[in-house]
Chains A and B, each alone.
Chain A
Amino acid sequence: MEEALVEHGALCVLIADDSDSDRMILKTLVTRQGHDVIVATDGFEAVEQFRAHRPQIVLLDVMMPRMDGMEAARQIKALAGETLVPIIFLTSLSDADALARCLESGGDDFLSKPYNRVIIEAKINAFNRMRLMHRTLTQQRDLIHARNRQLLNEQEVAKRVFDNVAHTGCLDASNIRYHASPQSIFNGDILFACPRPSGGMHILIGDFTGHGLPAAIGAMPVAEIFYGMTSKGFSCEDVLREINQKLKRILSVGMFCCAVFIDADFHLNHVRVWNGGLPDGYLIRRDGRRIALPSAHLPLGVVSPERFAAEVVHLRTEPGDTLLIATDGVLEAENEYGEMFGEGRLRQVLDNVDNGLEAFDALMAGVGTFTGTQRVQDDLTLLSLVMVASEQLTDLTNGLPQSALHGPVSWQCSYEVSDKTLGHFNPLPLLLHICMEVPGLRRRSGEVYTLLSELYTNALEHGILKLSSAWKNSPEGFGQYYAERERRLAEVDGHCIRFSLRHTATPTGGELRLSCADTGDGFDHQIWHPVGERSGAGPDSPDGVRYAGRGLALLRRLCESLEFVGQGNEVEVVYRWDFSEPRAQG
């Protein structure tokens, strides 16, 4: 482009005039200025000459036989297309209307008779500069178009990769409803959901600062960590810590991700919620009462790993309770006057949810009515999760590909967690990982995880921390239980939990023996036997019930056998599997 502007060489100039003497004079003048001249004696010939030689500048007499200058100008401009070919009319016209008509037909300027050598030279030079500028502009425009096309193609490819990594997991579950823009990859909103091996699910809804590619890039590792760790059984705190640490390390200063993390447990029917920087979420009870879930943390990617707080809010729920979480886009949706939807209107909409209408629909309708025809819904994400009884949720798929490798069948190991490690380390993902090396167990990860988790929770919370599960039966006690758990966990010392795992092959599948022993006091396990399959509360021993309600029933249902050993501080279960389809989780 630079060389285009400094181009000074000879131009090819077309001169069309039916007057022989005039044509001679002009041709001589222009040739003397160093240009190549081709001539025509009427408009028709001028168009033919233009077609054949593509001159850069055209000088046209207005009145010519066969085809006049104006018509020739129109045809030449049409032939030139996007290229700017300056047309200068040669004329002794003096009335303004006729001159204006010349310009309307496509002429760029006039040259009046008698010809003046100096003016001719100046005009040709001026129009050559304009021509080159136009050419540069056209080239740059084409370049921008090409670059833009390339960018869009790259974005398409990036989006395909992104969609594979940041797939929507189990967002299609029957108890989830959501609105997310198809363009969300480039507006920085994320929405992921993944089943936990134990049967519940993790949901992450977030909003990266900024837009476009930088925001989308941040979402990739978040998706990897979220899906990877959740499927392996990590707790929501662990996943949050890992995401925060990753984002803190890779994002530039000023970039972060406001997010809400939901850990929903449909067996115990409770949710745990972490809100860092998103607007208040709501838990809406079946009777319409609302509990606000305000942001209690800095967004992900802001604070260093040591200072990151993963404390969650525990909420006991009942089937029919609904969690509603929205990104800033909902509150910031604008109407035609530039007003924002805002928290006030959001609460108003929720206050007025009609019976039979879900909060999700009410809010979508509310925002839609408020914004009118504005296309703001492109950068808002809204999610509602209805708590259900676990039996209602079947076939949760997380879309993760399974490894096709053969794995070990006969093996045993033992693993012991002791002292302060009990307070901050969760061994379940590791133990699950070991078990998942057995190909036949992979499709039963939910059941295996449940076994491990029930055994571990029992050993830790009841055996060592001596928490009474009876507390969890009342709303106040529920909070107290978890507060007390945190407190006692921080002080735990001099204890250990030992897992022994042993897997052997059977003719139709395999057998997994799990035993879990703790250093707690144990309990008189003789008294629970008669209770058997009862799914209500266990025995009301004063020092805490070791297997309340669901835990015991679940273990007994999943296992071939379940035995308490010694003083009741060791439990051994035998789990058998065969190559048929796994049982539905429940």
Chain B
Amino acid sequence: MYKVGLVMNEKPHLDEKALAELQDVMEDEFDILISTYLSDSRDRIEALRSALRSADADSFTRSAHSFKGSSVNIGAPRLGAICMEAEVAGREGRLGQADNILEVMEREFNTISNMLERTLRA
């Protein structure tokens, strides 16, 4: 079984400072931003799964790349790092390992998803 790199584990789930800044910038639209991100991310995970099923490495790589970008922007560095692992695996054609990464990715997404929803409710 592929071991997801240790580096990403050193990153926090959420970058509190970045999130605070976003909240400051987005003002009233912060909530909309978070829900937009969360719903987009679910679509992306679904796209990654579908690419993996059809063994489309290129599509897998692109989706992982985009997911990486929006995750680091929203302030979810650990998820961003996992997406990068997936992007690299996809580009190098290691789709066998991608399955495992996708699992780790989903877990991490569920974690930050819960955290963000808590923030929204607060």
Where the two chains meet, the residues of A that have a C-beta atom closer than 8 Å to any C-beta of B are 18-22, 24-25, 28-29, 32, 61, 63, 90-92, 113-115, 117
Contacts and interface: CB of A to CB of B under 8 A. Distances in A.
Interface stretch (B62-70, B92-100, B104-112): B62-70
A21 B66 contact: no
B42 to A, nearest CB: 12
A568 B69 CA distance: 122
Nearest to B72: A114
B52 interface: no
Interface of B: 18, 21-22, 25-26, 29, 32-33, 36-37, 40, 62, 65-66, 68-70, 72-75
Most chain-B Cβ atoms within 10 A of its Cβ — which of A25, A29, A117?
A25
B65 A22 contact: no
A21 B21 contact: no
Contact of A92 (B18, B36, B68, B74): B68
B72 A25 contact: no
Determine the main DSSP class of B at the interface with A: helix
Given A19-B40, A21-B33, A28-B29, A114 B66 contact: no
Contacts of A115: 73
Contacts of B26: 24-25, 28
B36 A20 contact: yes
Nearest to A25: B73
Given A22-B70, A28-B25, A92-B69, A63 B62 contact: yes
Contacts of B25: 25, 28-29, 32, 117
A43 to B, nearest CB: 13
A171 B12 CA distance: 96
Nearest to A24: B33
Contacts of A21: 33, 36-37, 40, 70, 73-74
A25 B62 contact: no
A92 B21 CA distance: 20
Given A19-B40, A21-B40, A117-B21, 5 more contacts: A20-B36, A24-B26, A24-B29, A92-B72, A113-B73
Given A25-B22, A25-B33, A18 B66 contact: yes
A24 B62 contact: no
B22 A19 contact: no
3 nearest A-B residue pairs (beta carbon): A21-B37, A92-B69, A19-B70
B66 A113 contact: no
Nearest to B18: A114
A63 B66 contact: yes
A304 B75 CA distance: 90
A63 B65 contact: yes
A410 to B, nearest CB: 108
A19 B43 CA distance: 11
A24 B36 contact: yes
A91 B68 CA distance: 10
B79 to A, nearest CB: 12
